[in-house]
Chain A
Amino acid sequence: MKVLAAGVVPLLLVLHWKHGAASPLPITPVNATCATRHPCHGNLMNQIKNQLAQLNGSANALFISYYTAQGEPFPNNLDKLCGPNMTDFPPFHANGTEKAKLVELYRLVAYLGASLGNVTRDQKILNPNALSLHSKLNATTDTMRGLLSNVLCRLCNKYHVGHVDVTYGPDTAGKDAFQKKKLGCQLLGTYKQVISLVAQAF
């Protein structure tokens, strides 16, 4: 239940746009109805590629802004404190089919969106004056929200996939301040690496 704590739940509600969307989404059976709240854009894949490129382009600046705002020892111990060694990060296989890649992308973005929500919440409390960081986190979260919607549309329209099982990272609400800083830094370090691969895969 910690996963569904304050930081994740509002984000999921926003991401899925409907009641009860916080529950994990299994892959829809082929014959299941697939409906989206809004009509999907005609050129979805291009939009997805553009959004991935946008995220990839801003990931490094977000990472730098984050570890700089945390203060020492973070900037000088990135390998120890911010290394991309998250074990529960959703996998992504760049050589899969488009459908498989889209499903994995959906899981990835859902995971990242929820985790970034936690990071944003923590940073607004821990570093209330780091306005530049807050702005970058909000912009990234907004882009991910749009990307998630587009991926879902694509899955739904082309592959008739309306539900995908997703996983979320650990909730940081109960952690101490240093652990929150560290987990956020690890998340953004991992995100910077993964988003680069994902952007190249599409």
Chain B
Amino acid sequence: MAFSVVLQKAFLLALLSLRAYQNEVFDEPIQLVPEVQNVSTSSKPQQVNLQWTVPNLAHHQELKMMLQIEISRIKTSNVIQVVNYTTTVKWNQVMHWNWKPDIPLECVKYFLRIRGMVDDDKFLLQSSWSNWSSWQEAHIPVSLEPNTVLVFPEDPLVEEGSNITICSVYGRNQHNVSCYLQEKPIPGEQLDSHVSIFNLNNVVFFRDTGTNFFCNSIDTKLEDGIVLFVSKVLEEPKNFSCETQDFKTLNCIWEPGVDTALAWKQQPPQNYTLFESFSGRRKLCNKSSCDWQITDDSQEIYNFTLIAKNYLRTRSVSVSFHLTHRVYLKAPHNVSLEIINTTKAHMTWKVHSRGNDYTLLCQIELLCEKEVIHEHNVSVHMSGDYLFNDLDPDTEYKASVRCADATHFWKWSNWAEKTFSTPEAAPSEALDVWRIVRSKNGSRIVTLFWKPLSKSRANGKILFYNIVAENQDKPAKSKHCSIPAPASDTQLTLDQSSYKLHITANNSVGMSPETILVLSRESGNQEVVEKRINGTKDGFLISWEPRSRDVISYIVDWCAHSQNQLCDLQWKNLGPNTTSTIISSDAFKPGVRYNFRIFEIPVQGPVYLVEKQTGYTQELAPLESPEVLTSNLTSHSFTLSWQGYASQFQAGFIQGYRVYLKSKEMHCHSGWDKVLLSDNSVCCNYDIKDPKQKIFTVENLRPESDYEFSVRSYTSVGENQNATFMMVTTPDEHSHMLLKTMLPMSLCVLLIMVVCYWKSQWVKETCYPDIPNPSKSSILSPIKYMQNPHLTIMNVKDCIPDVLEVINKAEGTKTLYTGAGKLHAENVTKLPPVPTEKDSCGPVPCIFFENFTYDQLAFDSDSHGHVPGPLKDILCQLGPLTPPKNLLNVLGNSNMKSLTGSPTEETSLIYVSQLASPTCGDKDSLTTNLPRPVHCSEYKMQMAVPPSLASPALSKNSDLSSMILLGKGEPG
């Protein structure tokens, strides 16, 4: 209590002594009038700098003062701004104050004055304003000539969104001054007769090279301008944070925002400075990061301020933290993995820790095919380990681990990764197998299909598939085959025995559990009625009636490409209690028919076909039109047939066919409808509603008319649009009858002609032989007998030969009668061997005529005119003579031929039949007796001989009308 009384007295004494000191020093008020030392101006940046002092301050005295500055424009009375501010003034110190004018200093004059007031606790007695200082002028003079236009300020720099005033100064001769920002006119405000100002509000950033502001005088076409540099607004750094990995360096990062740099060196990129308040250190940084060295290990708390600055603005952001709370660990190292077996692996790693006292949290991830399949967190100090279980064999994994401070979690370290693969194991699942059985030539063609094992079930690369066909009836006939992967089907040819098929998949380690298919003698492809179903885009709903209760499973199969010959068999295994399923597949296409078969796999017995179902996911109009054949064309009808049209491969269920018929009269009969086609043509339409009917007869047609027809199939969606019309013309009504009569007649005539031609030789020889043989002419004989029963053989004695030469060969003499005809004849009673051109013929014992040639010139020169009369007359003149019988035959044959073959007066060249021996080549039958000329006669070559080639005798005796050479070998 006594101590407090003493303390109170001491405080009062001190207070009294202070008041006494104040009264002593400031007994009288002191005038503290600021005195302006200098007013300076700068054009770039536009600025007024006011320098002032307080002259009446005591030596080394410091005072806190409030100052007021008044600014006038153009004239002192036009005060535009009053600025108040507080500062501490010192004795003998020049104070500075800067001010940025709104209108450039080149365009207007400014006036400033200042006054002050002590605002210090030490000067309680004086609290009023001092007197004003004198007015000071602030202005930048420009040299302005009468014909000048100038624009100010030069190259101003402003921030986007701010306002700026640009002024134009012009000489006395300039009045109409217009200004533009880029090409946009800017309205101005005239301050006086020589100054206009242009206010640009909320300026926008155009480009970093500046925006042109341009003024010109309309009177004198003088111009000037400036480049306005608009800077983007400096943004506050975002996401500013600092962290350490090693407690030696703090790495601070942030997002800097837009770059505010401008070209023309108007403004460099903003700079960033990092300031730490506890240590007082400062560091200039990069644009988005800064490394801060930790120099004092004892400092645990840091308070950072990041300052971003450009010419126009300063932004700052601060962060304060404890060093241990900003630990960003380095990634774990020495990561290793030990493969224990096909499903287990052990991972170990080490961490960058400050010691065993620090607990770290580590996160472990196991990735398979870029997907995280396992994640776990563990606490560690210096190192950690983890055991991966339940891995898949033959699989590549990536194990990753990262760590963070467990006490003050800041962020995870980077991942440390290690890739490893587990070894292969035997396939773990039996193959899903199905089959197609076909019978062929008493054998069964079994096509097996199987689905490849999934990677998780294959446990390694499948190398081959083993198939064992075990013959249940004859075990010795079992088969085995191995199909190399990646095949997924194979074909077996089996007999009709029961078989058990064992199918396994094999990799390098072992085989899968076997799949067993039983093939009984019955194929399982029982005939069942096919049911139609309607599919949707999502697939087909298949349902069936179960046949028995003892079922292992049901299998629904179908071909993915039903229109192809090769069936890409698909199947679905279903449980025993299933009676419906939805079959969906991306391969299903609209307009394709899919046939489904539902099989029952019984516990005992063969596979049983339960149902067949067929349908479309979406029916379409038929794409193919029937190929139509026409037949039975009559004058009133014709028949169309399209038997080859495969309706089961169309884009929908064929519901029928439409027959279109076009004709000129366009009259549709009963049953036909008149329809308008898409091409606006009208035709008759007949609807065949039975899709199985593929033949149709078009009736009631008109003869000799043109008809166009088309047959189009249709489904529930519509009919085929690609069909084309074909033309058919009905024949004449009578042509049918004509055909019925004329054709047989023509055939008969033709037959007769063929027969006649075929028997012409016989007829000729019989009726009109070249050498008539009365004894053989059975046809003419009766006639002749009837006319003159006594005259059967021409009587030689009735003939008066003109010239006759008889050659008696046997006597070796030759009788030559030389007369007008010079006809050479030879007695051929006994002919010597006749050399001919054909050796095969050899000596010919027969009578033959050779080269009975008439010289053409001889005929031309009427050589035959020397013949006194017709040859028959000549022959008749031979009558008194009695030539040998052989010779008469010869003459008669040869000369009759020549006469009948040519009318001598008309024909210039006459060919005469020539008889040769029919026994040519048959030497054995040669005979010297010549009474049977007919049996051994034949026609030999006939030729026209030019005069030069005629025999000398003929040439010499050109008046000969004919020549008979008998025995060519004889020298003539």
Give residues in A with beta carbon < 8 Å to B.
Answer: 70-74, 76-77, 79-81, 125-129, 176-178, 181-182
A178: which B residues are within 8 A, CB to CB?
Answer: 151, 155, 212-214, 224-227
B582: which A residues are within 8 A, CB to CB?
Answer: none
Whether the Cβ atoms of B227 and A181 lie closer than 8 Å is yes
Whether the Cβ atoms of A74 and B155 lie closer than 8 Å is no
Shortest beta-carbon distance from A102 to chain B in Å: 36
Shortest beta-carbon distance from A182 to chain B in Å: 7
**B223 CB–A CB distance under 8 Å:** yes
With contacts A72-B182, A126-B264, A127-B209 taken as known, whether A77 is within 8 angstroms of B226 at the C-beta atoms is no
B591: which A residues are within 8 A, CB to CB?
Answer: none
Shortest beta-carbon distance from B699 to chain A in Å: 85
A–B pairs, 23, beta carbons within 8 Å? A70-B212, A71-B182, A71-B207, A71-B209, A71-B211, A71-B212, A72-B180, A73-B182, A73-B212, A73-B225, A74-B212, A80-B221, A80-B223, A125-B265, A126-B209, A126-B210, A128-B209, A129-B209, A178-B212, A178-B213, A178-B224, A178-B225, A178-B227
Cβ contact of B227, chosen from A77, A128, A177, cutoff 8 A = A177
Whether the Cβ atoms of B263 and A128 lie closer than 8 Å is yes
Report the separation of the CA atoms of residues A177 and B224 in the bound assembly, to the nearest whole angstrom.
11
With contacts A80-B223, A81-B223 taken as known, whether A72 is within 8 angstroms of B183 at the C-beta atoms is yes
B227: which A residues are within 8 A, CB to CB?
Answer: 126, 176-178, 181
Shortest Cβ distance from B210 into A: residue: A177
Cβ contact of B214, chosen from A77, A79, A129, A177, cutoff 8 A = A77
B213: which A residues are within 8 A, CB to CB?
Answer: 178
Using A81-B223, A176-B154 as known contacts, list a sample of 8 further A-B pairs with CB atoms less than 8 Å apart, ordered by residue number in A: A72-B212, A76-B183, A80-B223, A125-B263, A127-B263, A128-B263, A177-B155, A177-B264
- 4 closest residue pairs by CB, A with B: A177-B227, A176-B154, A178-B225, A72-B182
Report the separation of the CA atoms of residues A76 and B223 in the bound assembly, to the nearest whole angstrom.
14
B961: which A residues are within 8 A, CB to CB?
Answer: none
A74: which B residues are within 8 A, CB to CB?
Answer: 212
Which of A79, A81, A176 neighbours the largest number of chain B CB atoms within 10 Å of its CB?
A: A176
Whether the Cβ atoms of A125 and B183 lie closer than 8 Å is no
Report the separation of the CA atoms of residues A73 and B225 in the bound assembly, to the nearest whole angstrom.
10
Whether the Cβ atoms of A77 and B223 lie closer than 8 Å is yes
Report the separation of the CA atoms of residues A176 and B226 in the bound assembly, to the nearest whole angstrom.
7
Cβ contact of B183, chosen from A70, A73, A81, A126, cutoff 8 A = A73
B221: which A residues are within 8 A, CB to CB?
Answer: 79-80
Whether the Cβ atoms of A73 and B180 lie closer than 8 Å is yes
A73: which B residues are within 8 A, CB to CB?
Answer: 180, 182-183, 212, 214, 225
A72: which B residues are within 8 A, CB to CB?
Answer: 180, 182-183, 212
Report the separation of the CA atoms of residues A129 and B183 in the bound assembly, to the nearest whole angstrom.
22
Cβ proximity bits B828-850 to A, threshold 8 Å, 1 near / 0 not: 00000000000000000000000
**B710 CB–A CB distance under 8 Å:** no
Cβ proximity bits B117-159 to A, threshold 8 Å, 1 near / 0 not: 0000000000000000000000000000000000100110000
Shortest beta-carbon distance from B510 to chain A in Å: 70
A71: which B residues are within 8 A, CB to CB?
Answer: 182, 207, 209, 211-212
**B851 CB–A CB distance under 8 Å:** no
A76: which B residues are within 8 A, CB to CB?
Answer: 183
**B720 CB–A CB distance under 8 Å:** no
Within 8 A of A (CB), among B225-239: 225-227
Report the separation of the CA atoms of residues A177 and B214 in the bound assembly, to the nearest whole angstrom.
12
Shortest beta-carbon distance from B184 to chain A in Å: 9
Shortest Cβ distance from A178 into B: residue: B225
Shortest beta-carbon distance from A83 to chain B in Å: 9
Whether the Cβ atoms of B212 and A126 lie closer than 8 Å is no
Whether the Cβ atoms of B182 and A177 lie closer than 8 Å is no
Report the separation of the CA atoms of residues A74 and B182 in the bound assembly, to the nearest whole angstrom.
9
A81: which B residues are within 8 A, CB to CB?
Answer: 214, 223
Report the separation of the CA atoms of residues A143 and B536 in the bound assembly, to the nearest whole angstrom.
78
**B893 CB–A CB distance under 8 Å:** no
Shortest Cβ distance from B266 into A: residue: A177
Shortest beta-carbon distance from A94 to chain B in Å: 29
**B216 CB–A CB distance under 8 Å:** yes
Shortest Cβ distance from B226 into A: residue: A178
With contacts A76-B183, A125-B265 taken as known, whether A176 is within 8 angstroms of B216 at the C-beta atoms is no
Shortest beta-carbon distance from A122 to chain B in Å: 9
Shortest Cβ distance from A175 into B: residue: B154
B264: which A residues are within 8 A, CB to CB?
Answer: 125-126, 177
A129: which B residues are within 8 A, CB to CB?
Answer: 209
Shortest Cβ distance from A129 into B: residue: B209
Shortest beta-carbon distance from B821 to chain A in Å: 116
Report the separation of the CA atoms of residues A74 and B214 in the bound assembly, to the nearest whole angstrom.
9
Report the separation of the CA atoms of residues A30 and B70 in the bound assembly, to the nearest whole angstrom.
73
Shortest beta-carbon distance from A30 to chain B in Å: 46
Report the separation of the CA atoms of residues A179 and B180 in the bound assembly, to the nearest whole angstrom.
16
Report the separation of the CA atoms of residues A17 and B216 in the bound assembly, to the nearest whole angstrom.
43
Shortest beta-carbon distance from B437 to chain A in Å: 78
Shortest Cβ distance from A176 into B: residue: B154
Shortest beta-carbon distance from B222 to chain A in Å: 8
Whether the Cβ atoms of A177 and B183 lie closer than 8 Å is no
Shortest Cβ distance from A80 into B: residue: B223
Report the separation of the CA atoms of residues A70 and B213 in the bound assembly, to the nearest whole angstrom.
12
Which of A80, A125, A177 neighbours the largest number of chain B CB atoms within 10 Å of its CB?
A: A177
Shortest Cβ distance from A69 into B: residue: B209
With contacts A77-B214, A125-B263, A177-B155 taken as known, whether A182 is within 8 angstroms of B183 at the C-beta atoms is no
Report the separation of the CA atoms of residues A76 and B184 in the bound assembly, to the nearest whole angstrom.
12
Whether the Cβ atoms of B216 and A177 lie closer than 8 Å is no
A127: which B residues are within 8 A, CB to CB?
Answer: 209, 263
A182: which B residues are within 8 A, CB to CB?
Answer: 223, 225
A125: which B residues are within 8 A, CB to CB?
Answer: 263-265
Whether the Cβ atoms of B155 and A80 lie closer than 8 Å is no
Which of B182, B216, B227 neighbours the largest number of chain A CB atoms within 10 Å of its CB?
A: B227
B223: which A residues are within 8 A, CB to CB?
Answer: 77, 80-81, 182
Cβ proximity bits B593-630 to A, threshold 8 Å, 1 near / 0 not: 00000000000000000000000000000000000000
A177: which B residues are within 8 A, CB to CB?
Answer: 155, 210, 226-227, 264
Whether the Cβ atoms of B263 and A126 lie closer than 8 Å is yes
Shortest beta-carbon distance from A118 to chain B in Å: 15
Report the separation of the CA atoms of residues A127 and B154 in the bound assembly, to the nearest whole angstrom.
18
Within 8 A of A (CB), among B243-265: 263-265
Report the separation of the CA atoms of residues A111 and B712 in the bound assembly, to the nearest whole angstrom.
91
Report the separation of the CA atoms of residues A182 and B223 in the bound assembly, to the nearest whole angstrom.
10
Cβ proximity bits B288-326 to A, threshold 8 Å, 1 near / 0 not: 000000000000000000000000000000000000000
Shortest Cβ distance from B221 into A: residue: A80
Report the separation of the CA atoms of residues A32 and B226 in the bound assembly, to the nearest whole angstrom.
50
Report the separation of the CA atoms of residues A80 and B263 in the bound assembly, to the nearest whole angstrom.
25
Shortest beta-carbon distance from A183 to chain B in Å: 12
A79: which B residues are within 8 A, CB to CB?
Answer: 221
Shortest Cβ distance from A81 into B: residue: B223
Which of A81, A127, A178 neighbours the largest number of chain B CB atoms within 10 Å of its CB?
A: A178
Which of A72, A81, A125, A127 neighbours the largest number of chain B CB atoms within 10 Å of its CB?
A: A72
Shortest beta-carbon distance from B260 to chain A in Å: 16
Shortest beta-carbon distance from B179 to chain A in Å: 10
Cβ proximity bits B193-229 to A, threshold 8 Å, 1 near / 0 not: 0000000000000010111111010000101111100
Shortest beta-carbon distance from B806 to chain A in Å: 124
Shortest beta-carbon distance from B441 to chain A in Å: 83
Shortest beta-carbon distance from A116 to chain B in Å: 19
A126: which B residues are within 8 A, CB to CB?
Answer: 209-210, 227, 263-264
B155: which A residues are within 8 A, CB to CB?
Answer: 176-178
Shortest beta-carbon distance from A78 to chain B in Å: 12
Shortest beta-carbon distance from B474 to chain A in Å: 90
B210: which A residues are within 8 A, CB to CB?
Answer: 126, 177
Report the separation of the CA atoms of residues A70 and B264 in the bound assembly, to the nearest whole angstrom.
13
Within 8 A of A (CB), among B150-196: 151, 154-155, 180, 182-183
Shortest beta-carbon distance from A40 to chain B in Å: 42
Report the separation of the CA atoms of residues A73 and B154 in the bound assembly, to the nearest whole angstrom.
17
A80: which B residues are within 8 A, CB to CB?
Answer: 216, 221, 223
